[in-house]
Amino acid sequence: MHTANHGTPDRRWSKILGEYLSRFGIVVPESPAVLDIGCGNNAIWNYLALISYLSERALGFPQYVGVDMYEEAFSKAREGLEGLATFIACDARELSRHVEGPFHLILCQHPPLTTSKEGPRIWQAVFEEAARVLDPEGCFVLTSFWVNDHIPAQVAVQKAGLEILYSGKNAYPGKIFDKGSDGEDLQYDKYILLARKPRS
Ligand SMILES: C[S@@+](CC[C@H](N)C(=O)[O-])C[C@H]1O[C@@H](n2cnc3c(N)ncnc32)[C@H](O)[C@@H]1O
């Protein structure tokens, strides 16, 4: 099986942030507020990636908030990051009732748009909430396993009123772990999308 050679998920994500945020002129402030939507236990890797990205730029520590519909989804991460990060179990369609923005970075890694018919509608509502709590200078970063999730995610992000800066193959994907129903390789962070609030 082919394995992408970009290291552990935290190293990959540190490279992803380093390359894509600077490519699109996103300025990350000191101790940025970071929201991770549908974080699961991957929150650990994302937190470590932020530590590495920020320390290389002398930007301090992230104010990290992970949200997921299910408490069990992030229980290990919460244990591992006790005292360092905040975790909230909630439906992200009601995000602005549970978190206070603005967030300088919002991560949404592998939202499952195709697992149900309602997926695109559900995630559009989530992205509308994300747009509400995103800082005017902040960046929304989404990744997908495969194109069948990525294209509807891109459409939902646009419908949610965010301006897409980039959408396409990620230069730093992770492992291929399965094949989709149409034979496409499923791969961690295979596609990436960056978006921001539209300039008025
Ligand atoms: C495919 S998993 C991805 C988990 C993690 N981001 C990763 O990349 O490993 C999708 C996650 O989204 C969460 N989720 C699904 N619907 C949600 C919603 N409406 N609000 C918040 N989280 C949700 C699930 O519980 C699950 O943990």
Q: What is the CATH classification number for the domain harbouring 139?
A: 3.40.50.150
Residue 109 is assigned to a structural domain of this protein: no
Q: Is the CB of 138 under 6 A from ligand 1?
A: no
Q: Which domain holds residue 154?
A: 9-20+32-100+125-184
Question: What are the C-alpha distances in Å from 49 to residues 88, 102, 112?
Answer: 20, 21, 22
C-beta of 66 in contact with ligand 1 (< 6 A):
no
* pLDDT given for residue 115 in this prediction: 86
Number of domains in the chain: 1
> Would you say the CB of residue 71 lies under 6 angstroms from ligand 1?
no
> pLDDT tens for residues 112-136?
999 899 999 999 999 999 999 999 9
pLDDT in tens, 61-114: 999 999 999 999 999 999 999 999 999 999 999 999 999 999 999 999 999 999
- Percent of the chain past pLDDT 90, that is, above it, reads 93
CA of 125 to the centre of ligand 1 (A): 14
Interval between CA 87 and ligand 1 midpoint (Å): 13
Average pLDDT score over the chain = 96
pLDDT for 5: 64
Q: Assess if residue 95 is contained within a domain.
A: yes
**23 CA distance to ligand 1 centroid (A)?**
27
**Would 1 be classed as within a structural domain?**
no
Is the pLDDT at 51 greater than 60? The verdict is yes
Does the residue 111 lie in any domain? no
Ligand 1 within 6 A of CB of 170: no
Please state whether the predicted TM-score (pTM) of the whole model is above 0.85: yes
* Distances in whole angstroms, Cα of residue 5 to Cα of each of 2, 87, 154: 9, 31, 26
The answer to whether position 4 is within a domain reads no
Q: Would you say the CB of residue 144 lies under 6 angstroms from ligand 1?
A: no
Closest CA to 178 of 157, 151, 148: 148
